[in-house]
Amino acid sequence: MEADFVIIGSGSAGSALAARLSEDGRHSVIVLEYGGTDAGPFIQMPGALSYPMNMGIYDWGFSSEPEPHLNNRRLATPRGKVIGGSSSINGMVYVRGHAHDFDTWAEMGADGWSYADVLPYFKRLESWDSGGHGGDPDWRGRSGPLHVTRGKRENPLYQAFVDAGAQAGFELTDDYNGEKQEGFGPMEQTVWKGRRWSAANAYLKPALKRANLTLVRGLARRVVIEDGRATGVEYERGGTVAVIRARREVIVAASSINSPKLLMLSGIGPAAHLAEHGIAPVVDRPGVGQNLQDHLELYIQQECTQPITLYKHWNLIGKALAGAEWLLFKTGLGASNQFESAAFIRSRAGVAYPDIQFHFLPFAVRYDGKAAARAHGFQAHVGPMRSPSRGDISLRSADPKEAPRIRFNYMSTEQDWVDFRHCIRVTREIFAQAAFDPFRGPEISPGSAAQSDDQLDAHIREHAESAYHPCGTCRMGRADDPHAVVDPEARVIGVDGLRVADSSIFPRITNGNLNAPSILVGEKVSDHVLGKTPLPPANDEPWLNPRWQVSDR
């Protein structure tokens, strides 16, 4: 079996790559995916989002090593093991990231990845529909494969959250993916006609109708490298090991957890670490598996005095009715991820652009669907966006079937604690505004008794959870940067015919959820692979708060 291009992974970036590389019909493409079908309501129904990431059939089931600064808890690290990868099990929230995130990438050595360079690609990938609810059309794409929509925000609590932000003195924004990220406003979702619009639905499935694109099921064991060039992928299926040959390139798009693991299994990584596991080093790249970043968040939960929250549907009858309506009509509660209001704010004066994100939900429940509240409530998921902490991915053994060792090293700096305490206190300030007066009951979590720094720190240690945004483990940079893994065209430094294209190449984590910038990577890298001239840079100037040096709002 052979093709011009072999892509490992059918996730956000892999699906986009598969579609773009096979588009003109001149190149044969094979996508190797370990996971199975994404058919069925648990994945396709947006309202069921808490299920697939907790189902072994769809999720790799990774967890971190005991986190020393979080009471030695092992934190769940779900990654999609299914067609569409993590875009098939995520929360469907669509955030491009802030313009300055990408300018920072360019400053860190990712030439050609500034905001001016990537904005045309964001427009190319999007088919944006505000549903008549405002927005910034000049900054958005209208004809891309990825449908981006907004929830109806019918529950009054969505508007109360936005109004409360304004009452607390913060900005409003009509479109955080447009000119102005900073502020309170509507949240966007990758949902189309009531269905999850994953990278599989947007890119891969339409492209699989082409004769030159093939999907192969199997576990990638390693990249085959001969005389310094990637020539194929060794994979296993049903106990049989075989090789898919790549005539032109192998592209690893296996996630920020599995991509560095695959490189190390293939002899690309820190030489001493590879030698520990009996792997002959092909290229000594000390940056492989390093620079691991993520977003942590807390649920700040408040009881609601009116019976208007999603809690009234949190029973067998309510779930059955919502499921039936969705199955029959693709409408109702099942047709939204329920994240319909959002905010991006700055933590303090002197921070130039937002570094705190809120997801607001008219329900008090954990992201994984566990520990449902015992009463009507609402909550904000809140967390700092640019933690200085860094972790790493390493091999547990040379066995491709064994999960890697994941160390996030969360909360390892004093700034992490300062920022997280502020997140709790500013959320309380927002919930205390007049807009919530008709709805506000007692605080559920952390609970009004937790006020001092020490009490808040104890709550953070026990309750902070990953927002499931791991990235950075095959960092992009200049070819002469000893810690970079790939160059600005995503080529693995020191090996010919091999690229990495997924969130692992992010030099630094972006603001918000990572699905959109991961798809962006697939779109942009596809042009590099095909030798196309990049899309012409945009000259749109993003909004920055004129008061950023003197105020947090």
Q: How confident is the model over 161-203, as pLDDT tens digits?
A: 999 999 999 999 999 999 999 999 999 999 999 999 999 999 9
**Res 37: pLDDT:** 97
Asked if residue 289 belongs to a known ligand binding site, the reply is no
Summarize pLDDT for 262-280 with one digit per residue, the tens.
999 999 999 999 999 999 9
Picking from 244, 194, 185, the residue whose alpha carbon sits closest to that of residue 219 is 244
Asked if residue 175 belongs to a known ligand binding site, the reply is no
| Residues 44 and 127 placed together within one structural domain of the fold | yes
Among this protein's residues, is 147 annotated catalytic? Answer: no
Work out the burial of residue 308: count CB atoms within 10 Å of its CB; fewer than 13 is exposed, 13-18 middle, 19 or more buried: middle
Residue 539 falls within a domain, yes or no? no
Q: Is residue 73 pLDDT above 80, yes or no?
A: yes
Q: How many CA atoms lie within 13 A of 75 on its CB side?
A: 26
| Residues 444 and 347 placed together within one structural domain of the fold | yes
Point out the catalytic residue in the list 69, 469, 483, 528: 469
CATH code, domain carrying 306 = 3.30.410.40
**Res 490: pLDDT:** 98
- pTM value is 0.98
Asked if residue 377 belongs to a known ligand binding site, the reply is no
- Longest CA–CA separation in the chain, Å: 70
Provide the 8-state DSSP code for 54.
G
Sign of CA dihedral 147, 96, 255, 414: negative
Structural domain harbouring 51: 1-133+199-290+471-530
Residue 405 falls within a domain, yes or no? no
Summarize pLDDT for 395-434 with one digit per residue, the tens.
999 999 999 999 999 999 999 999 999 999 999 999 999 9
Q: Which residues contact 454 (CB under 8 A, 6 or more apart)?
A: none
Residue 209 falls within a domain, yes or no? yes
Asked if residue 178 belongs to a known ligand binding site, the reply is no
Asked if residue 21 belongs to a known ligand binding site, the reply is yes
Q: Is residue 368 pLDDT above 80, yes or no?
A: no
Amino acid in position 237: R
Asked if residue 45 belongs to a known ligand binding site, the reply is no
Residue 517 falls within a domain, yes or no? yes
| Residues 111 and 246 placed together within one structural domain of the fold | yes
Determine the Cα–Cα distance for residues 182 and 157; give it in Å rounded to an integer. Answer: 20
Asked if residue 251 belongs to a known ligand binding site, the reply is no
**Res 373: pLDDT:** 63
CATH code, domain carrying 36 = 3.50.50.60
Work out the burial of residue 528: count CB atoms within 10 Å of its CB; fewer than 13 is exposed, 13-18 middle, 19 or more buried: middle
Asked if residue 268 belongs to a known ligand binding site, the reply is no
